[in-house]
Structure 1
Amino acid sequence: MKTSVALCTYNGEKFLQKQIDSILNQTHPVDEIIVCDDRSTDATVEILNSYKEKYPELFQIHINEKNLRSVKNFEKAISLCTHEIIFLSDQDDIWVENKVEKYLNYFENHPETEVIASNGFGIDDDGKLLDVITIWDVIGFMKAKNIKIDFFEIISFSGNIATGATMAIKKDFVKKTIPFPLVPEFHHDEWIALIAASENRFDFIDDKMFYYRQHQSQQVGGVFFDNNERKKNTLLRFFSLDFNVQTFSNYKHLLKRIANSYQKHKHILEESQVHHDIFSKNLDLFKSLYYKYKEEMKKKYPVRFFILNIVDKIKNKRQLEK
């Protein structure tokens, strides 16, 4: 299987070379690197051109005519890739040297899989390993506890565990994901993972296959958590969809979570041009869960429910329709 890398850049001069070098030093060489630069104003383009001079047949560098921002820039880069397996790459991470080899072996051994993501290490600006739990560790935690893993339910209801920097996608599957919808706080990686998971075509490698850099200027963070048993158990409950509604506070948090998921998927449905059936079903599911737990809350805590219901309507909190 031939491989492409879709690399998007914007003012990435500080860490770009380490990212590219980690791609070039793979045990299984990649066949093309498609770079879409979103009009960088630092030395990013000069760095890219220096690699183009060294590897003219490997690199294709595209400078956007206007700033596309992350989602549409990745859509462009992925669309320009020509080979069977497309790896997504940020500009500030580092790949483990056998990442490509590991992914290709997985695709070969699991022909039904169209999209893969993986676990990863956390590093700081200086490349120092962080002693943290990552959001990607959760899948391994669930497997260790023999908890059923439904990637579509997890991504739909709990959040995205398929960070784009870990992702590889078969080119034939790309057409099912284009165009990417533009929805606030909803990124291309979550979109791709949702579509693949809805068809049982998504899978996850537990091995840590890259170093994810956490720094202040990063666009998307929030993947690292304190490394302790309490946080581990909290994440397990959250991502295993263990609602654990035993108290009034539990109900409040759950209703907020359901309402937020409903609003998010409603917005996706309005903005997306494809896969309306997926998000329509999710809206029906969220609505049924919302009224189920609201009715339970009303029966268990009638007085507090009555007061909360009035306050929430005034403040527009925990509402399906806003």
Structure 2
Amino acid sequence: MGKAKISVLMATYNGEKYIEEQLNSLLVQSREIDELVIVDDYSTDATVCIIRDFIDKHKKNDSWVIYENEKNKGWKKNFHEGISLITGSVLFFCDQDDIWLTDKIECQMKILEQHPEIMVLASEETVWYGGNKPEVTKLSDHATLEKIELGCNAENYMIQCSGCTMAIRREYINRVLPYYIDRCAHDDIFWKIGSLDGKCYFLHESTILHRIHGNNESRKRGRTLKKSIQNCRNEIDTGNQMINYMQTYSVPNYSVKKGTVENVINAYRYRLGLLEKKKVSSILPLATRYSMIFRRKRQLVGDILLAFGLKEQL
């Protein structure tokens, strides 16, 4: 992989406030980006103009390109469709408002070059609320790697990273895409299927400053009843796609992992029964399975409130 072509896929939408700072962090990477593909989701501010001016200023017209959607599609679909535009052998996902450490690409590429078994490589991040920047600008030499594999109690089923920390090999993208559900998050399916294969690894070291502010697109997750019901359906469909994948490819510990995914699907069916059909009988079996689908216990309480109209939005 010494001559691997590195592609970065960025989705943008009304990001004029922070986009230039992110573009600059990509420009100064210690290992150069071969291709930056930006897909703008019909921004109504100056985002596109800032990007075009930046590309012209730094003479990147031959390798940095921006596509403009003719209508707003949402960040999930924007990333999904953008994958088809990249041509590199390794893909890095990128958000519009973060800052990458200067050796993020160099470090992650070195790991991929040394470990051909790794298909999906994610990392920690430094959460940053603006203001003074954390002093960390480069990765240490002592970061540890953890293999992410789905366990019998649904350990590692839920994604534990931000997609903007991920690097994925092109051949694995081609393998996973047929199981990709358009309305789901772009990073989630690679984490989930990577954990089935045992080809997803996690770098215990931060590679980005993840900027948190009031307009993060992926954090606009107001929990309405309608959204929660759709989330259940999405997760059930994703679980079924994972089973389809396992039936097509040789997955280690097949029977255990298939059973785990089926248990998760059933948990979401109980949740759907509670939310959509107000089934009180779903509460107890859902409570016994909460750790499979909820990150916090209080989310189950929130579902009960939503289901019975005690709280319209959380």
TM-score of the two chains, using structure 2 as the length reference: 0.68
SS at match of 2:218: coil
Number of aligned residue pairs: give it.
246
Q: Distance in 2 between matches of 1:267 and 1:79?
A: 22
Match of 1:150 in 2: 149
Which blocks of at least 5 consecutive residues in structure 2 are unaligned?
Answer: 136-142, 221-230, 248-253, 269-277, 287-306, 308-314
Cα distance, 1:319 vs. partner?
5.0
CA 272–79 in structure 1, closer or farther in 2 if over 3 Å, else same: farther
Match of 1:314 in 2: 280
Cα distance, 1:123 vs. partner?
0.8
In 2, are the aligned partners of 1:269 and 1:276 still within 8 Å (CA)? no
Cα distance, 1:151 vs. partner?
5.2
Question: Sequence identity, in percent?
Answer: 29
Match of 2:262 in 1: 284
Larger CA Rg, structure 1 vs 2: 1
Counterpart check, 1:204 vs 2:174: no
Counterpart check, 1:85 vs 2:90: yes
Letter in 2 for 1:275: Y
In 1, are the aligned partners of 2:239 and 2:265 still within 8 Å (CA)? no
Q: Once superposed, what is the RMSD of the aligned Cα atoms?
A: 3.5
Match of 2:161 in 1: 162
Letter in 1 for 2:43: S
CA 15–316 in structure 1, closer or farther in 2 if over 3 Å, else same: same
CA 318–68 in structure 1, closer or farther in 2 if over 3 Å, else same: farther
Counterpart check, 1:3 vs 2:1: no
In 1, are the aligned partners of 2:38 and 2:65 still within 8 Å (CA)? yes
Q: Distance in 1 between matches of 2:132 and 2:43?
A: 23
Match of 1:275 in 2: 245
Cα distance, 1:190 vs. partner?
1.3
Q: Distance in 2 between matches of 1:276 and 1:48?
A: 41
1:155-184 per-position Cα deviation (integer Å, ceiling 9, x unaligned): 31xx2113111011111111122253145x
Letter in 2 for 1:20: L
Counterparts in 2 of 1:102-251, with a 5 A limit? 102-126=107-131, 128-129=133-134, 150=149, 153-156=154-157, 159-179=158-178, 180-183=180-183, 186-221=184-219
CA 32–265 in structure 1, closer or farther in 2 if over 3 Å, else same: same
Counterparts in 2 of 1:290-305, with a 5 A limit? none
Match of 2:292 in 1: none
Choose which of 76, 79, 96 in structure 2 pairs with 1:71: 76
In 2, are the aligned partners of 1:33 and 1:60 still within 8 Å (CA)? yes
Q: Distance in 2 between matches of 1:95 and 1:76?
A: 23
TM-score of the two chains, using structure 1 as the length reference: 0.66
SS at match of 1:107: helix
Cα distance, 1:275 vs. partner?
2.6
In 2, are the aligned partners of 1:155 and 1:190 still within 8 Å (CA)? no
Letter in 2 for 1:150: E
